[in-house]
Amino acid sequence: MIYFEDVSKEYGGGEYAALRDITFKIEPKEFVSIVGKSGAGKSTIVRLLIGEEKPTKGRVVFGEYEVNTLRPKELPELRRQVGVIFQDFRLLPTKNAYENVAFALEVAGVPERDIDDMVREALDLVGLSDKADNFVHQLSGGEAQRVALARAMVNHPKVVVADEPTGNLDPLNTADVIKVLEQINQLGTTVILTTHNKDVVDRLGKRVIHLDGGRIIRDAAKGKYTLA
């Protein structure tokens, strides 16, 4: 489903390499954690996957898309199939939880009559049906991240990418968010989690790709976060 083949990403004309010749494959319905220190290249993988950047070398394949060759106008179609959440939530402070989720559907051109059901279903999935009217400042960090997750899920994407989703959260909220990610995975959605949270990775007991200095140094099917 997702295939990185011999991918390198360099900045500053080759002065700095974020990724060096990495190759890996992710199958449908997998739950994969990509771990490593800050600057190891985890977020670069996410940016390459959603076409925000192009690799300096190699191929990035997602389903039938060869992402590195897509033209700008073809990217929206790809991105509708990948739900992404970030450490900083990226919610709109002027909208409440419901409106934040609905906004993703509106701008994707979903008919008005379908929006309400889809938003309520997504908020229900992340356990926030009762907080639909709350604005971002009225939500805890964990709840805000779950709203972001509802927004990422509302379009029924094939893959959810969580880029350091627990970086700003306390252990309790972290556990809530990871639990929702596991539920999403159990429903058949592929989940890619980038993190440097050892506890989270160890508790999951799923596949772990370990990055260091832009290279894959370990890829274990039921791995743990091993400090290099």
Partner 1 sequence: MFTNLYRLLRYSFQSFWRQRLLSMATMMVILLVLMVFQGIFVFGAVGEAALTSIKEKIDVSVFFNVDVPEDRILDLRRQIEGELEEVREITYISKDEALNQFKERHKSDEAIQQALEELGDNPLSASLNIKTDETEQLPVVAAYLKNIVPEEVVDEISYNEDNKAVIDRLTAIIGVSEFAGLILALFLAIVAILVAFNTILLGIYSNRDEVAIMRLVGAPNVFIRGPFVGLGVIYGFLTATLVTLLTIPLVYLISPYATLFVPGFDLVAWFWGGFIWLYLGQIGIGISIGVISSMIAINRYLSI
Residues contributing to the site for partner 1 (CB under 8 A): 50, 72-73, 75-84, 90, 92, 103-104, 106-109, 111-112, 151-152, 155
How far, in Å, are 24, 35, 58, 161, 224 from residue 199 at the CA level? Answer: 24, 12, 33, 19, 9
Closest CB to partner 1 among 131 and 151?
Answer: 151
Residues in the chain: 228
- Token pair of 137 as six digits: 């400042």
C-beta of 70 vs 175, nearer to partner 1:
70
Specify the residue, 42 or 151, whose C-beta has the smaller distance to partner 1.
Answer: 151
CA dihedral 66, 162, 53, 13 (to 10 degrees): -120
Query: Would you state the structure tokens that stand for residue 77, as one six-digit string?
Result: 């179609």
C-beta closer to partner 1: residue 106 or 130: 106
Ranges of beta strands (E only) in the chain are 2-11, 16-26, 31-35, 57-62, 65-66, 82-86, 159-163, 190-195, 207-212, 215-220
Residue closer to partner 1, measured from CB, 31 or 89: 89
Least distance in Å: CB of 76 to partner 1? 4
Cβ atoms of residues 152 and 84 within 8 Å? yes
Smallest distance, Å, CB 67 to partner 1? 13
Sheet containing 207-212, strands listed edge to edge, beginning at the edge strand earlier in sequence: 82-86, 159-163, 190-195, 31-35, 207-212, 215-220
Looking from the CA of 63 toward its CB, the CA atoms found within 13 Å total 14
Q: Give the nearest distance from C-beta 148 to partner 1 in angstroms.
A: 10
Pairing of strands 215-220, 57-62: unpaired
Taking the least distance from each CB to partner 1, the nearer of 100 and 195 is 100
CB of 84 to partner 1, least distance (A): 6
Provide the minimum distance between the beta carbon of 192 and partner 1 in the complex, in angstroms, as a whole number: 15
In whole angstroms, the minimum distance from the beta carbon of 62 to partner 1 comes to 12
